Amino acid sequence: MNQTGETKTFVLSASSGSQIYAYVWKFWDGTSEATVYPTVQKVLNIGGNPVDDRSLYYTCSPVAVNGHEVVVNGSLQVNNPPSIVPSPSISTNDTYLPFNTRLQLDAFHVDQLLGNQPLQFDWYLGASALGNGTLGASYPYKGTWSGNDTVVVNAAGTAQPCFYDTTVYSNRVIRCYVQDNSGGIAFVDFDLRGYTRPALETGIVASTGNLGAGASALPVKRIGYGEYFEFVVEARDAGNAVLNFSWNCAGSNNWTVPSTGAGAVTQNPDGSWRSVFLKDLSGEVVSSGTEKTATAVCAIISPSARTDVSAAVVLVKNSGPTAVAVTVFDAVGNGAITSHQSAGVKIRYEAVVTDPDGDIGYVYWTFVATTGTPWPNPTQMVGPKVVVDTGSWTGCVGVVGSWVAVDRLLQPSLSGTVPYVTFS
């Protein structure tokens, strides 16, 4: 089976007749090339159509000196490699060594439309195999394939999560390979980083950390719904007494929503104590400019002493999408639609979202038939490119709808209506 990334040599068999002075090649991705010989090389930059036996189509047109031209059609099968679902995650990183962490990678295979296409996960540290990890419960996932003159195929299937639990004793990179049963392969590198725990001496000795403690610059965190910041303090009493922790994020230290608490307290193997305090950033407000610095103070209390330590974070105001450009296309490659379209066709809607923070924009679509009985009505979809199939809609005269664009923090800032398409 051909694989993406390979370079393929295409050769047109010689034929008799008029002298040929050029060969015009047209490929599945819309590119073309002219050669003086009946051969050309092309990188297989995409996999084939998953609903057409993974086929990619191309043509070659020999042009004779007398102007005569014929079109020779060709095709080949190219495997679609597994796709990595955004975004792979590391449960714990950038903290004191050693630490336990979980690596997660979710993968999807568009060739599921051809039948059962199991994925194999292999975890490696350098050249050393670590095992296959642990598979999680699969979940519904929809991918999009495009090629062969802009034909778009929505591939509804399932994504497969895979976990790998490990203890990190030193900085390292763990790689996970994902392979299908046709030779397609993808991989992700997980960069695991930690730092040496500071020495503990007499009295109550404490160190603070947050998203990379020990760095000279303050950590930066964007404000948004569901966003938290993790403050960490570690301390030890000279008499090995049990320590209590009391965190205070006060308004006087630039917090919009004050909060207090002990944090999650655990004892380390060396006898020291650790408190992790999660500060909810959902309600924080930057009243002037684009950022502010806020400080958390932690009182560490033993039976005979008290020590106060502090840690700060720079909180940055989140900005939602500022512009959305919506275009409507004929989904079978006949170009953009202005207002009229034949009834019972597939209509492709595309949205280009501009976000000042560089976030990927998420677009939520709602489509409604002006009359008739489509199913379901309204039709709701998510994604930058969606296809509305009106083939089963009866008695309809057009499609109307609306969209809402948000960033990764689900900041809704822009909405509008989709261009009205009437059926003729």
Mean pLDDT of 372-378: 62
Residue 344 to residues 107, 271, 333, 392, Cα–Cα distance (Å): 34, 71, 15, 7
Indicate if the pLDDT at residue 217 is higher than 90.
no
Question: What token pair was written down for 421?
Answer: 């398409």
Higher pLDDT, 320 or 334: 320
Q: Give the distance from CA 21 to its chain's centroid.
A: 47
Q: Would the pLDDT of 396 be above 80? A: no
Of the listed ranges 153-167, 190-204, 236-250, the one predicted with least confidence: 190-204
**Which residue is associated with the tokens 């159509």?**
49
Q: Is the pLDDT of residue 374 over 60?
A: no
Looking at the chain, the number of H-run helices and the number of E-run strands are 0, 37
**According to CATH, what is the number of the domain 205-316?**
2.60.40.10
Residue 128 class from Cβ within 10 Å (0-12 exposed, 13-18 middle, 19+ buried)? exposed
pLDDT at 215: 34
Q: Which CATH number fits domain 83-195: 3.10.200.10, 1.20.1250.20, 3.90.105.10, 2.60.40.10?
A: 2.60.40.10
Q: How confident is the model at residue 227 (pLDDT cuts 50, 70, 90)?
A: confident
pLDDT band at 214 (very low <50, low <70, confident <90, very high): very low
Q: How far apart are CA 26 and CA 33, in angstroms?
A: 7
Confidence of residue 203 (pLDDT cuts 50, 70, 90): very low
When pLDDT is cut at 50, 70 and 90, the band that residue 42 belongs to is very high
Predicted local confidence at residue 204, as pLDDT: 47
Q: Please list the residues that pair with 290 across neighbouring strands.
A: none
What does the DSSP assignment read for 135-161?
E---EEEEEEEEETTTEEEEEEEEEEE
Q: What is the pLDDT of residue 211?
A: 34
Q: DSSP of 323-387, one letter per residue? A: EEEEEEEETTSS-B-SSEE-TT-EEEEEEEEE-TT-PPPEEEEEEEESSS--SSSSEEEESSEEE
- Mean pLDDT of all residues in 304-318: 86
What CA–CA distance (Å, rounded) separates 45 from 41?
12
The pLDDT value given to residue 334: 61
Alpha-carbon dihedral sign for residues 151, 156, 157, 163: positive
pLDDT recorded at residue 113: 64
DSSP 209-264: ESSSTT-SSPPEEE--TT-EEEEEEEEE-TT----EEEEEE-GGGT-SS-EEE--E
State how far the Cα of 246 lies from the Cα of 262, in Å rounded to an integer: 5
Average pLDDT over residues 125-150: 87
For residue 410, what pLDDT is reported?
A: 77
- CA–CA gap between residue 286 and residue 297 (Å, rounded): 20
> In percent, how much of the chain has pLDDT > 90?
38
Asked if 260 and 251 touch (Cβ cutoff 8 Å), the reply is no
Higher pLDDT: 326 or 200? It is 326
pLDDT of residue 340: 62
Query: What average pLDDT does the chain have?
Result: 84
Average pLDDT over residues 53-70: 89
Where is average pLDDT lowest: 208-222, 284-298, 351-365, 399-413? 208-222
Q: Which of 216-220, 370-374, 383-387, 410-414 has the highest mean pLDDT?
A: 383-387
Q: Using the predicted structure, report yes or no on whether residue 331 has a pLDDT greater than 70.
A: no
Q: Percent of the chain having pLDDT more than 70? A: 84
The secondary structure of residue 16, as a DSSP letter, is: -
Angle made by CA atoms 413, 418, 424, in degrees to the nearest 5:
175
Question: Which pLDDT band, with edges at 50, 70 and 90, does 370 fall under?
Answer: confident
CATH topology of domain 2-79: Immunoglobulin-like (2.60.40)
In CATH terms, are 2-79 and 83-195 the same topology? yes
Per-residue model confidence (pLDDT) at position 16: 54
Q: Are 261 and 244 in contact (CB under 8 A)?
A: no
Taken in order 162, 167, 168, 173, is the CA torsion positive or negative?
negative
pLDDT digit string, tens, across residues 265-283:
999 888 889 999 999 998 9
Q: Give domain limits for the chain.
A: 2-79, 83-195, 205-316, 323-423
Residue with tokens 């994902």: 178
Binned at pLDDT 50, 70 and 90, residue 264 comes out as: very high
Distance CA 355, CA 407 (A): 7
The domain 323-423 having CATH identifier 3.40.50: the answer here is no
Name the residue with higher pLDDT: 371 or 64.
64
